[in-house]
Amino acid sequence: MLNFTEKMKVFTFLLAQEEISYADSFNADIDTCSSNWDYNFLEKLNSKKEIELWIDILKSRIVMREDEAV
């Protein structure tokens, strides 16, 4: 299990990756919104894999909502 500092490092590292897909273009927005929530959601995530999955699901939801708006 990762401590909060390790979780933050993983989270920021993943969001700092090179943008490969359209969903990746939301990385900066996710980071900004997360900071407004004081990264509290990270307390529920225990591993790098869980953090990656959380980010992927959030990006998918954003893209799907955007598609619905069109």
Q: Tally the residues of the chain.
A: 70
- Report whether 47 contacts 55 (CB < 8 A): no
Q: Which of 7-16, 33-42, 60-69 has the lowest mean pLDDT?
A: 60-69
| Average pLDDT, integer, range 14-19 | 94
pLDDT at 70: 63
Question: 13 CB contacts (<8 Å, ≥6 apart)?
Answer: none
At 66 the pLDDT is 76
Per-residue pLDDT of 40-49, as tens digits, reads 999 999 999 9
pLDDT of residue 47: 97
Query: What are the angstrom distances between the C-alpha of 50 and each of 2, 33, 43, 57?
Result: 11, 19, 11, 10
Question: pTM for this structure?
Answer: 0.86
pLDDT of 36 reads: 82
- Residues whose CB is less than 8 angstroms from the CB of residue 47 and which lie 6 or more positions away in sequence, other chains included: 1, 2
